[in-house]
Amino acid sequence: MASQSSPARPTPRIIMYYQTTHDPDGNLISTLPLITQPGIALTHLIVAAIHINEDPDGLTLNDHAPSDPRYTTMWAELRIAQASDVKVLGMLGGAAQGSFARLDQQDQASFETYYAPLHALIRERGLDGLDLDIEEEMSLAGAVRLIDRLRADFGPNFLITLAPVAAALLDPRRNLSGFDYEALEVMRGPQIAWYNAQFYCGWGDAASPAMYQMCVARGWPAEKVVIGLVTTPENGPGWVPFDALAATLALLRSQFPGFGGVMGWEYFNGLPGGQARPWEWAQSMTRLLGAGQVGGAQETSGAKSTKAVEIDPDAETGPSPEVPQSFEYYSDGLDEGDD
C-alpha cells in the first residue's frame, strides 16, 4: 500500500509546532533557545496556523496578516533557525474551518484565487515546506491537486507533510479529513515527506508502542510516521509522562531503525520547563532519542521485546475519540486558537 520513498531528513526527526508566538502582554515567545540551548537536536519548526479566509486577499497567520509588524522579529528568528540547519515549515489549517474547503472547490479559477496568496507567502518567507493539517471535509481529488501544485511550484526539495489523527492511518472512517489517507499515499506517496500523526485527544496513544506498530504492520513505512504528542496536559488529552514515553520510544527505535521521530504540539508551554523554559521539551526528546539513550539495537540490547496489544480500530464500543478543540493561545491575547 504505502510508498517507500526516502525521508527528506535523517530520522528520527524532532519537530516542534509554534503557534503561540506572543505572551498575554504581547511579548514575543522566542524560538532562539531551540538553537542556542545545549542538548537540543531540533530538525523542523512548524509555524502555525495559516488561514485562507473568505476574502482571498485576507490570508492570516492566526489573527493577523503574516506581514503584520508584530511578526517582524519572529520571521527574523525563523531565518536564523534556517541558517542553523533547522527546516521551517508553515502549517495550513488546523481546527479553524474553511481553508481547505476553499481550496477544494471544483472550478480551477476559484482554486487559483485562494491559492495565490498562500503561494506568495511561501515564496516571500522562504518556507522550506507546508504542513497540511486538514481537520475538515476535503475530497481526495482536492488533496491531490493541492499537493501536485505545491510540488510543481516549489520543486523537489520542498517538504509536503500532512497531520492526520493517528486513527486515520488505520481506518478511514476515524478521520477528520474526509478522504482515505491510504488512498492518498498510494496516489501521491512519493510527494509526501511524512505524516505528523496526532497520537492524542483519543485518536491515538503514545503510552504504548502498540498503535505505532499497527500502523507499520498495515504497510506504513516507519520513516514516514511521526508520533505526534501534546507537550503538556494543558494542550489536550493524551499527554504521556516522560518515563512512559521513554519506554515507548526505546522499543520503537530498536524495532524500527527508520523510526520517523516525534512532533510536539506546541512550543510555548512544553514540559518540563513550562512557559518559563519551553525549550526543555525539545531537550528531553533529544535525550530520549539520542545515541547512548535509545539508539538502535546495539544501544538497546538489554531492552525486552514486547508484544503488541490487541487493538481493533473498527470497534464501535467504548468512548468516542475527542475532536481536537480550540484552546487559548497568546499570539493575540485573544481567547481562541487552533490545534
> What confidence tens digit (pLDDT) does each residue in 280-330 have?
999 999 999 983 333 333 222 233 333 333 333 333 444 444 444 443 333
Q: What is the pLDDT of residue 336?
A: 39
Q: Are 289 and 253 in contact (CB under 8 A)?
A: yes
Read off the DSSP letter of residue 22: B
Strands 13-18 and 44-51: parallel
Q: What is the pLDDT of residue 210?
A: 97
What number is the average pLDDT over the span 134-143? 96
Q: What is the pLDDT of residue 47?
A: 98
Q: What is the pTM of this model?
A: 0.84
Cis peptide before 272 (omega within 30 of 0): yes
Lowest mean pLDDT among 2-16, 74-88, 96-110, 152-166: 2-16
5-60 pLDDT, tens digit per residue, is 444 445 699 999 999 999 999 999 999 999 999 999 999 999 999 999 999 999 99
Which amino acid appears at position 14 of this protein? Answer: I
What is the distance between the alpha carbons of residues 288 and 188, in angstroms, rounded to a whole number?
32
Q: What is the pLDDT of residue 316?
A: 41
- Domains of the chain by range and CATH? 13-289 (3.20.20.80)
Residue 200 class from Cβ within 10 Å (0-12 exposed, 13-18 middle, 19+ buried)?
A: buried
What rounded mean pLDDT belongs to the chain?
86
pLDDT > 80? residue 73: yes
**Cell numbers at residue 123, please?**
515564496
119 pLDDT band (50/70/90 cuts)?
very high
What number is the average pLDDT over the span 161-167? 97
Count of all residues that appear for the chain in the document: 339
Residue 263's DSSP bridge partners are 15, 228
Which amino acid appears at position 270 of this protein? Answer: G
